[in-house]
Amino acid sequence: MSTTDPARRAAELRALLQHHAHRYHVLDAPEIPDAEYDRLFQELQSIEVAYPELLAPDSPTQRVLGQVLPGLSPVRHAVSMLSIRTETDTTAAGAEAFDARVRRELALPADAPPVEYAAELKFDGLAINLRYEQGVLVQAATRGDGETGEDVTHNIRTIGQIPLRLLGDAPAMLEVRGEVYMRRDDFERLNERQRQQGLKTYINPRNTAAGAVRQLDNRSLADKKLSFFAYGLGEVRGWVQPSTHSATLDAMAAFGMPVCADRAVVQGAAGLVAFHREMGAKRDALPFDIDGVVYKVNAVALQQRLGFVTREPRWAVAHKYPAQEQTTRLNGIEIQVGRTGKLTPVAKLEPVFVGGTTVSNATLHNLFELRRKGVRVGDTVIVRRAGDVIPEVVARVPGPRPAYVPNFRMPRACPVCGSAVLREKGGIDHRCSGGLFCAAQRKQALLHFAGRRAMDIEGLGDKLVDQLVDGGLIRTLPELYKLGVAKLSALERMADRSAANLVAALEKSKHTTLARFLYALGIRHVGEATAKDLVRHFGGIDRIMDASVAQLLEVNDVGPVVAQSIRSFFDQPHHREVVEQLRAAGITWPEHEGEADTAPKPLAGRTLVLTGTLPTLGRDDAKALIEAAGGKVAGSVSKKTDWVVAGAEAGSKLDKARELGIPVLDEAGLHALLGAAAASDGDTAP
Ligand code: IVH
């Protein structure tokens, strides 16, 4: 297929790379392996080196690091970038007040039908205007004061999610507005790396993203993965905007822009309240921070009728959630001993409501970080709690201090078992050297083993583990399975029925998978993903226990540190014994589990979109079923969608599917598709 004419080949490669970058970064559904992408990329790069005249600003090779500017240049916005009114009443009343105001301003009679709204998330990042001329990204600017922002094109170009060229038939001019943000996992990874290197950590994803975007030298973005969501338009020429906001976002998704799937078209105040509640419940599970939701009158014609007051549209409002950062007093610092013996300084706080719950403990990570932050007992500190990340003290609020407060010191002996506390030369962490002799490590090992993602032993929580270990009932993991109802019922506050439930849960946990079992053992550096990779590679537990470091290094994503950790773990006869005893206790997993993944995937390469509420399947269930069959669930409908599965109150995605002629299924239809896929699979099986 490849042509020999360099100009044609370069254009072909750019189009291919653009297509695959969109699949990878925006749809999260790559079609080719990374290595193949890299090969195409390098081919284009070498053509451009040989023929510099073929270099185009929208070439994927132009997402270059290493550009340094003397200063950021001002950019006058063609259409000013407004802000939105904030409704700080975090209860339902906030949404009701907005709807009432809209109805009043539109002079709607009381019996007029509900107003239709587009409800979306309020992303916590930095607003950006992306200017596309003839489909090519020519400029990216910050909001600034709304009239004049700063040119940050050199930085924005490095964000993989932001297309350098729009897909499809692009308008002569299109300004896309949205939020640059940092995902929580990318933020945590960045901070973890900083911590391991003894460097300063960043306060929160928003500040980090905002700071990165305004850097003069774009090399400082190399270690900061940023993301983007489009939520509006600026100047537009040569394009007729759809008549609703929701359809406008659909159109942007079709242009290749990332648009958040968590949005809905709702009717009236009741719809807004339901959305606020639904997203509030989902907030912690989202991969990024939000500080509220945004409601927009959906019909563009009504937006125009409503207009603006000063610098805010009357047709939009932000409805907040409780803040994820608060200040409070640091009352004390205690030491916690973790599963691997790591000593963590934990802040004892004056209880404070943050991120939706009351927090009285927060991590200070390690001695060096604590010192760098300069916190002392009695200080006012900023606490952050976002998602399921452990609450942490991110900074101290400067202020007066008593003349003498002693510096915090790490204990020399483990506060739990008295063993020596050691720190590797040049290392960051202090550790108790007691191993499983240390009750704290034993407790944490048990809790990890019983965890939902490990052996999933329901009912085995903190309190019970404390009792079991402190009461001397359990010293090793296998002893768990020797607990009977009689022994358990003897424990304080343990009713017969809960004892029986726990025994049943233990029994149930015996049927597991090898990957869960391996993860449950709590080998340092072996998380869920590594456990799965190991099983896929080796197939059985004996081969894993016997694998040499060299053999372990052959496993996907296993480096020297992980390989050594696995080897050292199984070099200890005591650990092998634990494995044998657990198997003797009746723990089993399906044979050939590693091959499960090579099973035929009938929906492989197919993309489905879910919309509305299905009668029995939750969204996560439907997604799991589709993914198990090898299919991909995308957030928005495009020409590449194979099926749309629609339930009650399906919104714009359904309209879009009809518009594009994409087949629409209901829940029964989805089952039929999965069933048919499974059946046809059976037919072709040898
Ligand atoms: S719309 C005319 N939608 O919130 C309306 N803004 O003051 C313009 N933001 O800094 C804004 N998520 O960056 C809109 N879904 C969303 C948003 C959103 C976050 C930010 C925006 C701006 C502030 C609004």
Give the distance (Å) from ligand 1 centre to CA of residue 231.
Answer: 7
Last residue of a domain, one of 568, 594, 620: 594
Residues 566 and 631 in one domain: no
CA distance 216 to 229: 23
CA distance 434 to 415: 11
Give the distance (Å) from ligand 1 centre to CA of residue 473.
Answer: 56
Query: What would the two tokens of residue 98 be?
Result: 């907005």
- Cβ proximity of 255 and 166 under 8 Å: yes
Last residue of a domain, one of 298, 320, 342: 320
The pTM of the full predicted model, rounded to 2 decimals, is 0.75
613 is a domain residue: yes
The total of structural domains in the chain comes to 5
Residues 248 and 307 in one domain: yes
407 is a domain residue: no
Can you tell me whether residue 220 is helix, strand or coil? Answer: helix
> Nearest 10 degrees: CA dihedral of 428, 432, 435, 441?
-90
Residues in the chain, how many? 686
614 is a domain residue: yes
Pocket test for ligand 1, best of 80, 82, 83 (most atoms within 8 A of CB): 83
Residues 316 and 329 in one domain: no
Pocket test for ligand 1, best of 84, 177, 229, 303 (most atoms within 8 A of CB): 84
Tokens 């053999």: give the residue: 551
* DSSP code, position 651: -
> Who lines ligand 1 at CB under 6 A?
82-84, 120, 122-123, 127, 179, 231-232, 294, 313, 316
Last residue of a domain, one of 320, 350, 380: 320
DSSP secondary structure letters along 41-52: HHHHHHHHHH-G
Residues 271 and 140 in one domain: yes
The confidence score (pLDDT) of residue 214 equals: 93
- φ, ψ for residue 121, nearest 5 deg: -90, 150
What pairs with residue 149 in β-bridges?
75
Residues 52 and 109 in one domain: no
Pocket test for ligand 1, best of 179, 245, 300 (most atoms within 8 A of CB): 179
> Nearest 10 degrees: CA dihedral of 206, 210, 211, 214?
170
pLDDT means per 10 residues in the chain (686 residues)? Answer: 80 92 86 85 92 88 80 93 87 93 96 97 97 97 93 95 94 98 95 89 93 92 95 97 97 96 96 95 94 97 93 93 93 94 96 92 95 92 90 91 85 95 91 90 94 93 92 90 88 82 94 96 92 92 96 90 94 92 94 56 82 85 82 85 88 85 86 65 33
Residues 290 and 169 in one domain: yes
Atom of ligand 1 nearest to the CA of 179: 13
Give the distance (Å) from ligand 1 centre to CA of residue 306.
Answer: 18
The confidence score (pLDDT) of residue 621 equals: 83
Whichever domain contains 357, its CATH number is 2.40.50.140
51 is a domain residue: yes
Whichever domain contains 30, its CATH number is 1.10.287.610
Residues 468 and 379 in one domain: no
Residues 278 and 355 in one domain: no
412 is a domain residue: no
Q: Please state whether beta strands 430-432 and 421-423 pair in parallel, antiparallel, or not at all (unpaired).
A: antiparallel
Active site residue 532: no
What pairs with residue 217 in β-bridges?
68
- Cβ proximity of 168 and 29 under 8 Å: no
Residues 131 and 252 in one domain: yes
Tokens 């709807």: give the residue: 99
Q: Atom 16 of ligand 1 has which residue's CA nearest to it?
A: 122
Whichever domain contains 566, its CATH number is 1.10.150.20
The confidence score (pLDDT) of residue 593 equals: 60
Residues 178 and 261 in one domain: yes
- φ, ψ for residue 392, nearest 5 deg: -135, 155
Q: Atom 23 of ligand 1 has which residue's CA nearest to it?
A: 83
List the domain range (segments joined by +) for residue 10. Answer: 6-62
194's CB contacts (< 8 A; 6+ apart) are: 200, 201, 202
Which one of the listed residues 122, 532, 632, 640 is annotated catalytic? Answer: 122
Give the distance (Å) from ligand 1 centre to CA of residue 162.
Answer: 18
387 is a domain residue: yes
Give the distance (Å) from ligand 1 centre to CA of residue 250.
Answer: 17
Residues 283 and 140 in one domain: yes
142 is a domain residue: yes
74 is a domain residue: no
Residues 341 and 311 in one domain: no
Nearest Cα residue to 597 out of 556, 537, 655: 537
